[in-house]
Amino acid sequence: MSIRETVRELNAGLGPTLVAALSGSRDRRASIGWEAGEGPGPDEASSERLRCALAQWKAVEAAEGADVARMWFLGSNPWLGEDSPINAIREGWFGEVAIAAQALVQDAFSG
């Protein structure tokens, strides 16, 4: 999947402001340009964050629906030290975010 398609799916699910935030961009409209193919695309570090986010989006959305997935990305998460998945992805905690997503999908949270 191209980065443009990745951004398109994330923009549709999370909105461009959150997608820009999780990518590490300071421009809240950056993901709109990336989706449209205008100007330079995201750098490699941002692209890695975007790919991670899409994988977790798809997992949570498939199990719980788009509304729950959106709230999961925004909410405080005990598997991430009470940080949100958006912040954790921006910080590069990809493995931890994947574990947190799987915990939700598998109903592994005990508490």
Average pLDDT over all residues of the chain: 94
Query: Residue 25 has which token pair?
Result: 């961009």
In whole angstroms, what is the distance from residue 41 CA to residue 65 CA?
Answer: 29
Name the one residue in this structure whose structure tokens are 């964050």.
Answer: 49
pLDDT of residue 107: 85
For 87-100, write each residue's pLDDT tens digit.
Answer: 999 999 999 999 99
pLDDT of amino acid 40: 86
User: Distance between terminal CA atoms of the chain?
Assistant: 36
Is this model's pTM higher than 0.85 or not? yes
Question: What is the Rg, in whole angstroms, of the alpha carbon atoms belonging to the chain?
Answer: 13
- Cross-strand pairs, 83: 77
